[in-house]
Amino acid sequence: MYNTDIITKVQNMKIIHCADIHLGSPMSSISDDEKRKERQSELRATFSRMASFAAAEGISAIIIAGDLFDRDRPFRRDRDFFLSTVKANPGVDFLYLRGNHDMDGVCEDFPANLKPFGSSWVSYSYGNINISGVELNVSNCSSVYSTYVADSEKYNIAVMHGQLCDKAGVCEIDRRRLSGRGIDYLALGHYHGYTEQALDSRCTAVYSGCPEGRGWDEPGDCGFVLIETSDSGISHKFIPFARRRFVIRRIDVSGCLDIHEVLGRINAAAEDDSLASPAGSDDMLRAELSGSPEFDTRNLSYETESLLRESFWNVNVKDLTKPPLILGDYENDLSLRGEFIRNVMKDTSYSDGERRRVIMAGLQALEGEEVEI
């Protein structure tokens, strides 16, 4: 166990934990060529902003827990951009651990403040923090656990890239073999959404997620984790930092009489204050439309996207609606559906609105769907 009397006498520290930046990502989820290029530039700009934030806030080091680049051999512009960012912030150390996407990574001309990890544990010390990282490969993925050594006089951060699970592999991290080894914070990369879980009674394992979402499979707030030490211990918090977000809303447009009613429901869902993160005009919105509107929905996706382009930076509409119910189509239908609809239409105890709701519920029941009463 570490000696807290020794630790608290050392200057308290701040460290950034980030991962899965994927410089050079093709941003293939964005169809517009100019906006795709803009997002690639924003990805670089966000990393630069994070480095400037670290310098301004007196943060000692930025941990990059894998997949700095999107490919083993990064584009020259991305490699040169990264190195220039490191050089432009000499007061911040960049601790670089390669992930499964960038195992070649930056292999030459390391600036003094770019600190690499390797295939055996490499450690760097900052005040009362000891940071140790290792890159997994075929040769070491089973043996690295037994060679980890914590510093008993400091808070210990371990850095790895892979899926935290119950086995060891090149992309798998065996949580059982890290538990109880004196780690206070396990800085992970590989999973693109911020998440955390207890490794043992002392250690929290944290995926920082990616700093910028690159597709609809990376929705919501993206950013990095700020780690701080104080007299009372080591703590961390997620810092949303992305230039813009991918936001998905699933919207039932049943009963809408025209496209303007559909737009109203989309905008209401996007701006819903009850949600943790309402969609803003700088965001990328996907509206997934369901239900049965009351008008001709041919070209609904295209027309809705066109009308929403002024409200959001990028819009994607998925039409999952069912064709509108045209009661006249069932007038001579000899099926059970036709008989049901004709009987309801003859019942004068219903108003027009009630009659339509009863028919819709009955058709859902006949199709084996769950019906809300």
Considering only residues 2 and 202, tell me which one the structure prediction assigns the higher pLDDT.
Answer: 202
Q: Answer for the pair 27, 40: CB distance below 8 angstroms, yes or no.
A: yes
How far is Cα 75 from Cα 81, in angstroms, rounded to an integer? 10
Give the end of a domain, one of 215, 240, 265: 240
In this structure, the answer to whether residues 264 and 334 fall within a common structural domain is: no
Give the end of a domain, one of 219, 240, 261: 240
| pLDDT tens by residue, 4-61 | 444 444 578 999 999 999 999 999 989 899 999 999 999 999 999 999 999 999 999 9
Q: Which residue range(s) make up the domain with 331?
A: 327-366
Average pLDDT over residues 187-196: 97
Strand intervals (E) in 138-199: 155-161, 163-165, 172-174, 185-189, 195-198
In this structure, the answer to whether residues 351 and 302 fall within a common structural domain is: no
What residue has token string 């803009």?
38
Average pLDDT over residues 160-187: 96
Average pLDDT over residues 241-269: 95
pLDDT exceeds cutoff 50 at 278 = yes
Give the pLDDT score at 90.
97
In this structure, the answer to whether residues 261 and 127 fall within a common structural domain is: no
In a domain, 342, yes or no: yes
Average pLDDT over residues 128-133: 97
Considering only residues 337 and 128, tell me which one the structure prediction assigns the higher pLDDT.
Answer: 128
Q: Answer for the pair 219, 202: CB distance below 8 angstroms, yes or no.
A: no
Helices and strands (H, E) in the chain, number of each type: 8, 17
In a domain, 220, yes or no: yes
In this structure, the answer to whether residues 40 and 101 fall within a common structural domain is: yes
Give the pLDDT score at 134.
98
In this structure, the answer to whether residues 304 and 358 fall within a common structural domain is: no
In this structure, the answer to whether residues 201 and 347 fall within a common structural domain is: no
Q: Provide the number of structural domains found in the chain.
A: 3
Query: Residue 215: which pLDDT band, with cuts at 50, 70 and 90?
Result: very high
Residues 6+ apart with CB under 8 A from 209: 19, 20, 191, 192, 193, 194, 195, 218, 222, 223
Q: Answer for the pair 249, 284: CB distance below 8 angstroms, yes or no.
A: no
Give the end of a domain, one of 240, 262, 280: 240
Give the pLDDT score at 1.
44
3-state secondary structure of 160: strand
How far is Cα 285 from Cα 348, in angstroms, rounded to an integer? 44
Could you tell me the pTM of the whole model? Answer: 0.85
pLDDT exceeds cutoff 50 at 2 = no
Q: Which of 51-60, 132-141, 225-234, 353-362 has the lowest mean pLDDT?
A: 353-362
pLDDT exceeds cutoff 50 at 239 = yes
